[in-house]
Amino acid sequence: MRSVHDRSSRGEGTAVGVDVGATLTKCALREGDASPRFTLLASDSLDQAARWVAEAAPDSVGLTGCGAPTLARLLSLDTAPVSEFDAWRSGAAELLGPEVSDRYLLVSVGTGTSMMLVDGAASNRLGGTALGGGTLLGLGRALLGIDDFEALCEQAARGDRWRVDLSLADIYPRPNESPLPADLSASLFARLGRPGSGPFAPEDVAAALMALVGENVAIIARTLAAAARVERLVFCGSTLRGNPALRAVLGKIIGLTGRPPEFLENGEYAGALGALLVAASARP
């Protein structure tokens, strides 16, 4: 147990939240009324996360995500388990600030993608897809030999996906014959299967991978939002971090409904921040 001196030297009211995902561990730290600080760690090194939590000497610890039980066993502190849905809802509301509304679809794009309806203080998972950052990493390694996610995002930002994908313009040469806008996808990766198709570079494949994930996530999100009669779509999750190519695809497809998506600043930490807030609010 920490002494009174220990508590005052580290600051009263220090709170920590950790979201242990399948790939990344997202950490949030708040001391008193100060703004939260964020840290990103690899999930295959939970000892490092445990050291980070211990060094913060927090008064409350909220843990969420698939690896939360494992991290809890590594800590000699009392921890509060927080459901992922409660964590995302609370963290997103905090990050939205005064822009928060009563009802919106919150889309968390991590290793996979989960979509939940936020309605005031309630949240309900409506669906999702196994497509996400894990898909991008796996296909990036298999097709391009790229193991680093940041490197894959950098490649995609420089690439031209239409050297790999077929657009409606490719199969409807006359724009007035296409039943939909000509710059929409007709078939992903299909150009590579056409005899005599033009040259393509690794960065073009990387851009096409972002389109593969982004278009499917966006279509599913649009469908769920329409079924729930929700117009506002808010995106968070670590797969969007430093990934302009994926954001552009999501923005284009979601924007077809007339209202563009919202990307939370520091959205990769929504779960960690939410776990922090839920645990801190439950502290005696």
pLDDT reported for residue 280: 94
> What backbone phi and psi angles, to 5 degrees, belong to 93?
-60, -40
pTM > 0.85: yes or no: yes
Query: What are the residues whose beta carbons fall under 8 Å from the beta carbon of 148, sequence distance 6 or more?
Result: none
pLDDT reported for residue 99: 65
Q: Are strands 14-20 and 60-64 parallel, antiparallel or unpaired?
A: parallel
Pick from 199, 200, 172, 174: which is nearest to 186 by CA? 172
Q: Which CATH topology does 4-98+269-281 take?
A: Nucleotidyltransferase; domain 5 (3.30.420)
pLDDT reported for residue 11: 41
- Which residue in the list 31, 84, 203, 215 is annotated as catalytic? 84
55 is catalytic: no
Please report the DSSP string for 71-120 in residue order. Answer: HHHH-SS--EE--HHHHHHHHHHHHHGGG--SEEEEEEESSSEEEEEEET
CATH 3.30.420.40 placement within the chain: 4-98+269-281, 128-264
Out of 2.40.10.120, 3.30.390.10, 3.30.420.40, 1.10.730.10, select the CATH number for domain 128-264: 3.30.420.40
- One digit per residue, the tens of pLDDT, for the chain of length 284 reads 233 233 333 445 899 999 999 999 999 999 998 999 999 999 888 999 999 999 999 999 999 999 999 999 999 999 999 999 999 999 999 999 876 667 999 999 999 999 999 998 888 999 999 999 999 999 999 999 999 999 999 999 999 999 999 999 999 988 788 888 889 999 999 999 988 887 899 999 999 999 999 999 999 999 999 999 999 999 999 999 999 999 999 999 999 988 899 999 999 999 999 999 999 998 77
The CA-CA-CA angle for residues 246, 251, 254, to 5°, reads 120
